[in-house]
Amino acid sequence: MKILLMATLFLILPSGCLVLGIEDNIPSFRWATVHDPSVIKAGDTFYVFGSHLQIAKSNDLMHWTQVNVGVYNNNPIIPNIFTELKETFEWAETNTLWAPHVIQLQDGRYYFYYCACRGDSPRSAMGIAVSDNIEGPYRNLGIILRSGYRPGEGMCEEGVPYDARIHPNVVDPHVFYDKEGNLWMVYGSYSGGIYILKLDPETGFPLPGQGYGKKLTGGNHSRIEGPFILYSPDTDYYYLFLSFGGLDYRGGYNIRVARSKNPDGPYYDAEGRNMIDCYGPSFLEGNDPYIAPFGVKLVGNFTLSEGNTIDFRVFGYVSPGHNSAYYDPKTGKYFIFFHTRFPGRGETYQLRVHQLFLNEDGWFVMAPFPYAGETIEDLSFQEIAGEYQLLIHDKEMTNEIRKPVRIALNPDGTVTGAQTGEWEKKGHYITLKLEGEIYKGVTLKQWHYSEKKWVTVFSALSQKGVSVWGIKTSE
């Protein structure tokens, strides 16, 4: 009978009911167009708010509905936007908005931290709008920070002439509560670096006397932006996510993370580098080689295509970045939300959502494929052993697309192929020693996005902050 032939794929309960196993679950996806997605959960629904007022929502993180697509009058979020934010647009000399963040404060209302920037300079304004409903309409409360002051316009928030090498570009806000209930905002892009401010939990406005706040990293126009801070109750660390590089398909955008025991730092990477030291000498000289060694790199350009010519139909990302992250206290799962471009598809971009996992050293590693409802489990030794595609997310900042190499995790605990060494498992954790480098991570089953099947994967991190992914080919 068919049921007997499929026995390995089912769990038969004493009642006689059949429960589908993971191999029978065929997930589907519907993605939205959101650049710089910042996540908030309202009730049972996840929302991401992005640049150009691109907004989407989902109940399962796999099927997304577009809520809004651009900045225009009579949009549902801020209907009279050019009147409501007239002062912001005039200061920033633009007609669009950049990466925002929305948070629900203690009064139950939703606070929309918006920002606008000229783009070719740090001429920016950041403000707050408020609504009783997550989808709006939002009413403007006013500008809270400005950058890019010109001679004759007065002093900047520090009370001195504005200097873009040391003062921040007031964009890319993320507002969050720390474990003590204090309210903070981290923000910044290129220019003088990434800064953090303490906010009034009653009003959402910055507490007085802070100027631009405290610097965490960057400066001298180093290509660092999109900060987001997530607290983990499992490790008692605050994790500072950052995007290095340029966001277009030639820019080499990549996601990195550092951590601290305090919301306002100092933040350190896996090698113990203080992120306050992460900056270059000048934009003209090129800062990338100076900042590339810093941070734990989670993902950069890659493809699973192995041929001389990259097949755009094969799974891969180009310039993934500007992420947000979320911890679900009910399930204990961590998620990362980001936009990405794709090999061979130019500037086309979409939202993606992956799971994050903590390795044995308390660092996040990122699942190789988009979230498809999977839950991590203790896989058997036999399920893990086999041939793999190995992707190495080295810390170089480049527009090159990394390709996989082939390795085998052998039943005797050795690793052979393009990289050699050893491997061992402990529960869902895996430790690999590849060419003398030790990587610690996790194993799990994931839905292979381009081959449309469930496969065993691993995601691990070296002590130098280099991520490796393995996708099993011999399932």
- Active centre residues (catalytic): 36, 225
Q: How far apart are alpha carbons 453 and 345 in whole angstroms?
A: 24
Peptide bond into 100 cis (omega under 30): no
Q: How far apart are alpha carbons 192 and 198 in whole angstroms?
A: 19
Contact 85, 127 (CB under 8 A): yes
Q: How far apart are alpha carbons 212 and 194 in whole angstroms?
A: 10
Longest dimension (CA), the chain: 85
Alpha helices in 123-273 (DSSP H): none
Contact 321, 253 (CB under 8 A): yes
Q: What is the CA 373 to chain-centroid distance, rounded?
A: 19
- In terms of residues, how long is the chain? 475
Q: Which residues contact 11 (CB under 8 A, 6 or more apart)?
A: 18, 19, 21
Q: Provide the pairing of β-strand 194-199 with 214-217.
A: antiparallel
Q: How far apart are alpha carbons 241 and 226 in whole angstroms?
A: 8
Q: Which residues contact 17 (CB under 8 A, 6 or more apart)?
A: none
For residue 340, which phi and psi values (nearest 5 degrees)?
-150, 150
SS3 91: helix
Report DSSP letters for 37-58, one per residue. Answer: -EEEEETTEEEEE-GGG-EEEE
Q: Which residues contact 422 (CB under 8 A, 6 or more apart)?
A: 413, 414, 415, 432, 433
Structure token pair of residue 263: 């919301």
Q: How far apart are alpha carbons 313 and 388 in whole angstroms?
A: 20
Contact 194, 117 (CB under 8 A): no
Structure token pair of residue 71: 């900045």
SS3 451: coil
